[in-house]
Amino acid sequence: MTTGYTVSQLRAAVADAVRAPSLHNTQPWRFRLHDGGIEVAVDPLRGLPATDPTGWGARIACGAALFNLRLALAVAGTPATVRLRPHPAEPDVVARLVPDVPRRPTPTEKSLYSAIAHRFSNRAPFWPDPVPAEARWRLGEAARAEQCWLELVIGASAVNALAEVARSAHRVLERDPAYVAERVEWIRSEPAPDGVPAAAGGPQSEPQDLLPQRGFGGRNRAPGRDFEPEPLVAVLGTPGNTGTDQVVAGQALQRVLLTATDAGLGVSMLSQPIEVPGAREALRMSLGRFGTPQMVMRIGYGQPGRATPRRPVDEVLDLPVVPA
């Protein structure tokens, strides 16, 4: 008979959960122990009102953190049963995890868990080596295992059409001073526990770039160091677009990212065409897909990079008050 999770189990699993990606590395999550269950919630104090007015990005990030949490608990032999948005009166609580029957982790859980520490956004140009069919298949399977779809955009004309939508969304966003101010506010040129370190920002964009790079103050490009001419671009999507669908998408995103890491692939995310409603619809139509695109990714082999900082675990925990 299993009772609840303990504070030490919570702490250990949250150390892995916070390695998840988040828009501008805001880390918009909180974790608590409640009636023996671990709960994941959006932190409303770490929102991005101009960039993410609907909270889509925060729910994607919390979904990704939830996926890491599931893996960490499974690998510790204490897997969880998950209920999404368990308290209708508290929509910010995105998930509740209670202990399932203890069992050994599966080989897939072990390899995805090992990838958590090695995953990071790689915004540098990739090498020209193509991504083999087996790895492409694994990425699609990763999305399907989490009830999402992953469309690999194949062929120069399809990639060009997507790139055009992405560039136009980028221009729309960059015309909004509040959006620009928020992006600049989260660039870090000094060591900090959150935000995007300028060193992780990728090279400065140039007019010949096919895909728009969000400007995070990256370095100037060495001559000839252009982006790969034929990037592998993938779009992750969900059948619906409720808050719950977005949490599901966050879990699938993290599963795809960890699967890519495990296959030795680098990934950078591009969400400008998701953030601009007209662009998102144009993207959906260009894919000929039902449902809603939730993230665009550029995938390839490249120079390994480095992990970005995270806030300490204690800063994101809400622990029960123990009576004196």
Ligand X SMILES: Cc1cc2nc3c(=O)[nH]c(=O)nc-3n(C[C@H](O)[C@H](O)[C@H](O)COP(=O)(O)O)c2cc1C
Smallest gap, in angstroms, from Cβ of residue 270 to ligand X? 5
By CB under 6 A, which span of 41-49, 135-143, 173-181, 270-278 interacts with ligand X?
A: 270-278
Site for ligand X in 229-258 (CB under 6 A): none
102: phi then psi, degrees, rounded to nearest 5: -60, 140
157: phi then psi, degrees, rounded to nearest 5: -70, -35
List the one residue out of 28, 60, 93, 41 whose CA is nearest residue 274: 60
Helix axes 156-174, 277-287, angle to 10 degrees: 170
Is position 214 an interface residue for ligand X (rule: CB under 6 A)? yes
CA distance 250 to 247: 5
Which CB atom, from 60 or from 279, has the smaller least distance to ligand X? 60
Which CB atom, from 33 or from 276, has the smaller least distance to ligand X? 276
Q: Among 14, 18, 211, 270, which residue interacts with ligand X (rule: CB under 6 A)?
A: 270
CA distance 309 to 136: 29
Smallest gap, in angstroms, from Cβ of residue 21 to ligand X? 3
Smallest gap, in angstroms, from Cβ of residue 254 to ligand X? 9
List the one residue out of 158, 92, 119, 127 whose CA is nearest residue 253: 119
Which CB atom, from 37 or from 55, has the smaller least distance to ligand X? 55
Helix (H, G, I), strand (E, B) or coil at 309: coil
By CB under 6 A, which span of 3-11, 18-26, 89-97, 152-160 interacts with ligand X?
A: 18-26
| Dihedral sign (CA 214, 215, 217, 219) | positive
Is position 170 an interface residue for ligand X (rule: CB under 6 A)? no
By CB under 6 A, which span of 105-113, 153-161, 174-182, 269-277 interacts with ligand X?
A: 269-277
Is the distance from CB of 84 to CB of 95 less than 8 angstroms?
A: yes
Smallest gap, in angstroms, from Cβ of residue 30 to ligand X? 16
List the one residue out of 170, 201, 178 whose CA is nearest residue 188: 201
Q: Among 268, 286, 301, 302, which residue interacts with ligand X (rule: CB under 6 A)?
A: 268
Chain residues in the site for ligand X (CB under 6 A): 21-25, 57, 60-61, 120-121, 123, 196, 200, 214, 268-272, 308
